[in-house]
Amino acid sequence: MPKLTVGSPRLQQQIDFILEVDKAKGILRSTRVTVADRFENDGEHSWHVALIALVLAEYAPPGIDLLRVIAMLLLHDIVEIDAGDVNVYDEEARVSQPVRERLAADRIYGLLPSEQGVEFRNLWEEFEARESPEARFAASIDRLQPLLLNHHTQGATWREREVTRDQVVAVNAHIADGSKELWELASAVIDDARDHGYLES
């Protein structure tokens, strides 16, 4: 593939990063989109969760830095360009995922100018740790989105994998750490999915 050469070394690194992360559009997730019988890709997911955070910002903890939340949501799945996406209900595949993602973070964020790469890598680490209010809210949005899509597609992915209500509750329970109101919504969605037969009891 031809390499685009631009002005300053700093701008060159940033353009290299921008072109590299376009590959996220080719990483398929295990959640279907609502408009067609196909899987969502990481680029679509990142856009959607960032937009959801903007729309649902009023349910975040008081004083939260929304720009930081959106930055985490846009950055956190970039590592899947190298590491791939793993279904949250595939416990065996998830065991080795953290190691693969750290190696991916080293490479991909390392494409940027050093201080910008460190800043973005730190946001990724913050999201993964879920210790700040911003990270907890970002993580709650990241889990709410596939929950809503799974319900709207009549549990397509859940039914294929014979996922149970208890499994969905366990995987999504940390939504409550980011937003009490969003966890109440998620709980209602889960119960409705069970009632409609989208989930195993």
Q: Is-contact 149 34, C-beta < 8 A?
A: yes
Question: How far apart, in whole angstroms, are the C-alpha atoms of residue 152 and residue 168?
Answer: 15
**pLDDT tens-digit readout, 34-72:** 998 899 999 999 999 999 999 999 999 999 999 999 999
**pLDDT tens-digit readout, 11-30:** 999 999 999 999 999 999 99
What would you report as the CA-atom Rg of the chain, rounded to the nearest whole angstrom?
18
Indicate the pTM of the whole model: 0.95
pLDDT band at 130 (very low <50, low <70, confident <90, very high): very high
Domains of the chain: 9-195 (1.10.3210.10)
Q: Is-contact 95 83, C-beta < 8 A?
A: no
Structure tokens at 189: 């969605």
Residues with Cβ within 8 Å of 35's Cβ and at least 6 positions away in sequence, in order, are none
